[in-house]
Amino acid sequence: MKRFFSYLWVAGLSLGFIICPIAVSETTPKKRIAVLYFEDNSRFDSPTGCGCVPGFIGNIFSSKKRWDLEAGFARMLNRKLVEANMYEPISKDELLDAMAVMTLSRHNLKRLKQEQRATLAKHLNADVIAVGKIRQFNQERFRTSASRTLREGGRRAPQGPGTASYTAPVILRGSIHRVAIKLEMKFYNASGELISEPRVAAVRDHTYGATKFASLEASMTEEGTNLTFGQTSEKQRKNPRPIVKPTELNEIKFASAEYDRTLFGIVTNEALIKVVLALRDSVGPNFITPWESQPVAEKEKKDALTVTAGPIKGKIQYVDNENLDKIYVSIGSNRDIAINQEFAVFTKGKPVRDIDTGEILTHVPKKIGTLAVSEILTDKVSVFRVVDIAEPLKIGDVVSQDTPETPASETDTPEKQE
């Protein structure tokens, strides 16, 4: 083979051109995610379209729900996975084909055993299987209003060429709409084993307060204050408030583009973004999502360079020596760590004293065992488990890839951190 390429090289030189090798760039393959289902346990009743009317009243007018939360949440989560650009959601047709091969119904999906999940993942070529429960999905409204008529002049007022009388209502209005969503997720690997059970919640308020005097209205929302005189202001047209009225929500299809403009839609998207972040922290890869701010201050950049320059190192923040599978360490996803990666753990060893005064300057690090990553919770903390240990662990013990460059100082002693 080498002789063949050397012949090509010589031939290329003789023909007056040089043959250059083609660089092949290897990109990280996208993880395939199968969102099997969302189970609605929210008791959200939407016979009138949005569930803002009590169920017993709504049932008088209709018995059919217009918002299918279970199908809508699965569809919107798949949309967020695509937006993340690191995951490939498995389509509904692929899922239905695999279910047909395994003779599974939608009801059966909620009762799968580990072996069945592994078989389904194999048919789907899925890296992760995700299922969810909708624990809370509701919108509450708190409203108050008051009015008074302001009069100037009247029958007893002096009349003359320079006087006038008028009557104008003064109306005070205020309202708060609050949407709260709580989800419980479960992520399984290709072997059908449970990886993580993250719980996410999202809450947002929309406040509105206004004082109206005749045609002049001053209003205040979380976006700021606004003054109008008989017509909609340019600011309101450019920054429309989220849709919260039940009569308007009745006409909106769940998971549609218009749904994203509602307060329900804003909070739903926030909750599902948290699901994607939990998926990233549980199974990787480590990447910055489109919803996270990428620019950082100069000081933060310097700190990041300082942190990443040396070995990966953190400290034990919480330890229960009766349960050595739950050790919280200040090392997170921003350090590019992996599940089952092993780290050495060091505690304070012998003191180093000043030879003249006898003052303790520091302590020599003493290796007491090995820990391994069990679960990556956030960018700042992960759960570790004990691989082997010679002494009880303490809060403040150093966890490092190798021997720390600098010993633990007096200010970092476990006693002071506790």
Looking at 247, 279, 311, which one is the last position of a domain? 279
In a domain, 157, yes or no: no
Same structural domain for residues 251 and 384? no
Kindly tell me if the per-residue pLDDT of 307 is higher than 60: no
Both 230 and 171 in one domain: the answer is yes
- pLDDT tens for 207-226 read 765 444 444 444 444 444 44
* Cβ-based neighbour number of residue 92 at 10 Å: 13
Domain assignment of residue 127, yes or no = yes
Say yes or no: 139 and 249 in one domain. yes
pTM of this structure: 0.54
Alpha helices, H only, 311-371? none
263 and 333 inside one domain: no
The verdict on 265 and 308 lying in the same domain is no
CA 48/CA 251 separation, integer angstroms: 10
Percent of the chain with pLDDT over 90: 33
Number of domains in the chain: 2
Q: Is residue 24 part of a domain?
A: no
In angstroms, the CA 325 to CA 387 distance is 9
pLDDT for the residue 146? 52
270 domain residue, yes or no: yes
Closest CA to 40 of 132, 155, 178: 132
Residues 179/267, Cβ–Cβ less than 8 Å: yes
Q: What pLDDT score was predicted for residue 287?
A: 85
Question: Taking CA 384 as the corner, what is the angle to CA 381 and CA 390, rounded to the nearest 5 degrees?
Answer: 130
Q: 399 lies in which domain range?
A: 301-417
CATH code where residue 330 lies = 2.40.10.410
Q: How many Cβ atoms are within 10 Å of 68's Cβ, its own excluded?
A: 16
Does 180 share its domain with 272?
A: yes
pLDDT band (50, 70, 90) for residue 367: very high
- Check whether residue 342 and residue 272 sit in a common domain: no
291 falls within a domain: no
Helix (H) or strand (E) holding 285: none
The letter for the amino acid at 223 is E
Q: Give 108's contacts (C-beta < 8 A, 6+ positions apart).
A: none
- The pLDDT, as a whole number, for residue 33 is 95
Q: Do 52 and 82 belong to one domain?
A: yes
- Higher per-residue confidence, 409 vs 104: 104
Residue 60 counted as domain residue: yes
- Answer yes or no: do 238 and 370 share one domain: no
Q: Are residues 120 and 243 in the same domain?
A: yes
The pLDDT of residue 286 is above 60 = yes
Supply the pLDDT for residue 6. Answer: 47
DSSP string covering 189-238: ETTS-EEE--EEEEEEEEEEEEEEETTEEEEEETTEEEEEESS--HHHHH
Question: β-pairing, 398-400 with 342-353?
Answer: antiparallel
CA distance 267 to 33: 23
**Which segment, 143-157, 181-195, 316-330, 346-360, is predicted with the most confidence on average?**
181-195
Q: Both tokens of residue 200?
A: 């996410």
Rounded Cα distance between 370 and 386, Å, is: 6
Banded model confidence at residue 18, pLDDT cuts 50, 70, 90: very low
Domain limit, last residue, from 279, 313, 329: 279
Confirm whether 329 is domain-assigned: yes
Last residue of a domain, one of 249, 279, 309: 279
| Residue 144 shares a structural domain with residue 229 | yes
Residue 341 C-beta-side C-alpha neighbours within 13 Å:
19
Same domain, 250 and 180: yes
Q: Average pLDDT in the 375-390 region?
A: 89
Whether residue 386 is contained in a domain is answered as yes
Split at pLDDT 50, 70, 90, the class of 291 is confident
Dump pLDDT digits (tens) for 25-56.
345 688 999 999 999 998 886 645 455 555 55
CATH code for the domain of 85: 3.40.50.10610
Q: Are 347 and 399 in contact (CB under 8 A)?
A: no
